[in-house]
Amino acid sequence: MSGEPILSVEQLTMRFGGIVAVQELSFAAERKKITALIGPNGAGKTTVFNCITGFYKPSGGAIRLTHDDGRQIALERLNDFRIAKQAKVARTFQNIRLFPGMTALENLMVAQHNALMLASGFTFLGLIGVPTYRDAEKRAIALATDWLKRINLLDRADDAAGNLAYGDQRRLEIARAMCTEPALLCLDEPAAGLNARESAALSELLLSIRNELGTSILLIEHDMSVVMEISDHIVVMDHGVKIAQGTPREVRDDPKVIAAYLGTDEDEAVAVMESGS
C-alpha cells in the first residue's frame, strides 16, 4: 500500500490561444476517497478533467497517478486511450456518451475490450474458438451481469442503451466505466438532469463503489446535495484557479466560495452570510 494520494495535480496550466482556462492548479485526490471538483460554470472544471483523462494535452504542469502498488504514471505524457488502458483512469461524460445502438450488456462488454482482446489472442485464437477465450467471455458476461444488478438494470440487459430512461443511462455509463476496472473513476456531472430520487440512488451507488470496491472517485458536480453528502474532500475552482479546498463543511462556510457562486465580491458575500445567519 502506498500512502501517496492516488492523483496529484501540480501547477496544471491549460491555455487555448490567449485564453487561460486553468492556471497553475494544484490539488490531490486521496486514495479510496471521493474528491469533488466544484465551481461556477466556466470555472475550468471540465478542462481539468479533459487534461487528466488525456483528451487535452496540458500546456504546463504535472499530473501524477500513483497505483496501489506504488507504481507512478505521469498522465500528462500519456495520450488518449492509453490513460484508460495503462493508467486505469475511467471517465464518464457530461452529455452521456453510451453506444445507443448497442444493448446495455454490449456496452459493458465493450468496456472490457482490452482484457477480452488479450484473452482472444488478438482475435486469432478467438476466431477458432479456443476454450480459454470462451471462459474469459463468460467471466466478462458475469462481471457485466454483476454491474447490471448493482445499477438495477438486470431486466433491461438486452435492451438498446438508447432506449433506456435518462437516469438509467447515467447509471449505465458509470457501470461501463467501472467495467474497465479502473483505479480512479472520473465522473463529469453524474447527477445532471436527475430528479431527487435518482440523485439519492446515485449517491448510494457512488458510496458503494468507494466502500465496497475501494475505487477512488473524482467528480465534477453542480448538485450540492450530492456533493455535500458523499464527498470526502472538495476542491473549489473559479476562473481557472483554485479558490478553496477542504471538507464539505469547511467549503460550505468559506466566504470566497459563496462569493464565487453568488457572483459578488467577498465582502458582500460575508454581509449576505451574516444577515442570513
Partner 1 sequence: MTATPHKTSNASRTAGIPFLLKTAFINAAIALVLFSLMVGIRTEAGSDGQLTYWTRFGDLAALVGAVFGGSIVIELLRQWIGPTGAEKLVPPAVQSGISFIGRYLAPALLIFTLLVPVIFYNQRYILDLAILVLTYVMLGWGLNVVVGLAGLLDLGYVAFYAVGAYSYGLLATSFGWSFWVCLPLAGILAAFWGVLLGFPVLRLRGDYLAIVTLAFGEIIRLVIINWQELTGGPNGVSGIPRPSFFGIPLDNSDDGLAAKLGIEYSPTHRIVFLFYLILALALLTNWVTIRLRRLPIGRAWEALREDEVACRALGINTTTTKLTAFATGAMFGGFAGAFFATRQGFISPESFTFQESALVLAIVVLGGMGSQLGVALAALTMIGGFELFRSLENYRMLVFGMAMVLIMIWRPRGIIGHRAPTVYLTKAQAISSDLVKEGHG
Task: List residues binding partner 1 (CB under 8 A).
Answer: 53-55, 80-85, 90-91, 93, 97-103, 105-106, 109-114, 116-117, 120, 123, 126-127, 129, 141, 145, 154, 157-160, 162-163, 176-177, 180
Cα–Cα dist 118/88, whole Å: 16
Cα–Cα dist 22/14, whole Å: 5
Picking from 60, 46, 63, 40, the residue whose alpha carbon sits closest to that of residue 184 is 63
Least CB distance to partner 1 at residue 247 (A) = 30
Type of residue at 65: L
Between 129 and 131, CB nearer to partner 1: 129
Between 199 and 215, CB nearer to partner 1: 215
Picking from 32, 8, 40, 36, the residue whose alpha carbon sits closest to that of residue 218 is 36
Type of residue at 153: L
Between 103 and 199, CB nearer to partner 1: 103
Between 33 and 82, CB nearer to partner 1: 82
Least CB distance to partner 1 at residue 35 (A) = 19
Least CB distance to partner 1 at residue 195 (A) = 24
Least CB distance to partner 1 at residue 204 (A) = 24
Cα–Cα dist 158/144, whole Å: 12
Between 23 and 46, CB nearer to partner 1: 46
Least CB distance to partner 1 at residue 111 (A) = 5
Cα–Cα dist 55/38, whole Å: 20
Picking from 249, 235, 207, the residue whose alpha carbon sits closest to that of residue 33 is 207
